[in-house]
């Protein structure tokens, strides 16, 4: 039992037509968005943001479509959603959760980040953390939970401290592997403030290893990226890791 969201494209907005200049019918909004992305040659991997390519009203229609598919999944899992009071509205909840909460970093635009010129030519490094990161692994779509530390040697612009948390939350709210997540976050921070040096450390636990599979309750993954002066100057890199160690030590006092 699937409710589809009928929609007619005129081919002009996304370059797609049936070849006779006739409008092409996309039965589902997900197909329409996918066709638009493909026509524009834009990647839509699990950890890509596609907000630019979603038109007004489509996110709401996508929520309806996802809920329909989740309902089908629950039925396929032989769960009696018609009579089970606990799972009656689970499909709608899961659709909302994916599109607007845990994977909002795919479907919503980056939060607004004001940046200011570095008029005083600040060039002393600072670190901010721990920043809580919540994500999901691309392989099983189960949670990744951890912390992140960001170190900056200021460059062209300065952004407010809270913005690191907002941008990290946006980047991590997508299905990821941790190795790529740290690179994507570094790219976004570089775009925002063009620092002379940037370092990021992530420590996270993967529930695909805790909750299932090998069931290792304590194992975590730690990875980092260093760019600019942090990469070229070993003493600066050392200072970054030392500052993070001090921040971690503060947690246990």
Ligand X SMILES: Nc1nc2c(ncn2[C@@H]2O[C@H](COP(=O)(O)OP(=O)(O)OP(=O)(O)O)[C@@H](O)[C@H]2O)c(=O)[nH]1
Interface residues with ligand X (CB under 6 A) are 137, 139, 177-179, 206, 208-209, 213-214
- In whole angstroms, the minimum distance from the beta carbon of 252 to ligand X comes to 26
Nearer of residues 26 and 47 to ligand X, judged by Cβ:
47
Task: Kindly write down the DSSP assignment for every residue of 73-109, as one continuous string.
Answer: HHHHTT--TTT-TTTTTHHHHHHHIIIIIITHHHHSP
- Cβ atoms of 180 and 163 within 8 Å: the answer is no
- In whole angstroms, the minimum distance from the beta carbon of 181 to ligand X comes to 7
d(CA 109, CA 129): 24
Here the tokens at position 135 are 């994500």
Nearer of residues 31 and 205 to ligand X, judged by Cβ:
205
- In whole angstroms, the minimum distance from the beta carbon of 174 to ligand X comes to 12
Nearer of residues 26 and 178 to ligand X, judged by Cβ:
178
- In whole angstroms, the minimum distance from the beta carbon of 142 to ligand X comes to 9
Nearer of residues 133 and 243 to ligand X, judged by Cβ:
133
The DSSP H or E segment spanning 204 is strand 197-206
Nearer of residues 214 and 251 to ligand X, judged by Cβ:
214
d(CA 153, CA 161): 13
- In whole angstroms, the minimum distance from the beta carbon of 206 to ligand X comes to 5
β-pair type (175-176, 126-137)? parallel
d(CA 227, CA 200): 9
Residue nearest to ligand X (CB): 213
- Cβ atoms of 43 and 108 within 8 Å: the answer is no
**Dihedral angle of Cα 104, 109, 111, 117, to the nearest 10 degrees:** 150
d(CA 21, CA 24): 9
- In whole angstroms, the minimum distance from the beta carbon of 213 to ligand X comes to 3
Nearer of residues 26 and 147 to ligand X, judged by Cβ:
147
């Amino acid at each position: 039992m699937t409710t589809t969201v009928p929609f007619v494209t005129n081919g002009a907005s996304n370059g797609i037509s049936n070849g006779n200049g006739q409008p092409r019918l996309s039965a589902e909004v997900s197909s329409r968005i996918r066709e638009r992305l493909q026509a524009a040659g834009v990647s839509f991997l699990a950890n890509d943001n596609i907000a630019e390519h979603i038109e007004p009203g489509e996110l709401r229609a996508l929520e309806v479509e996802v809920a329909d598919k989740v309902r089908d999944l629950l039925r396929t899992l032989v769960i009696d959603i018609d009579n089970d009071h606990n799972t009656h509205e689970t499909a709608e909840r899961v659709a909302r959760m994916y599109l607007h909460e845990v994977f909002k970093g795919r479907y919503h635009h980056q939060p607004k980040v004001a940046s200011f010129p570095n008029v005083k030519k600040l060039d002393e490094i600072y670190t901010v953390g721990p920043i809580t990161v919540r994500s999901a692994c691309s392989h099983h779509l189960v949670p990744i939970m951890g912390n992140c530390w960001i170190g900056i040697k200021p460059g062209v612009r300065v952004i407010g401290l809270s913005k690191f948390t907002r941008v990290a939350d946006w980047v991590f709210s997508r299905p990821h592997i941790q190795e790529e997540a740290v690179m994507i976050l570094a790219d976004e921070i570089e775009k925002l403030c063009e620092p002379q040096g940037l370092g990021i450390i992530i420590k996270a636990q993967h529930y695909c290893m805790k909750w299932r599979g090998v069931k290792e309750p304590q194992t975590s993954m730690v990875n980092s990226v260093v760019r600019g002066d942090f990469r070229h100057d070993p003493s600066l890199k050392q200072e970054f890791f030392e500052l993070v160690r001090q921040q971690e030590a503060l947690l246990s006092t």
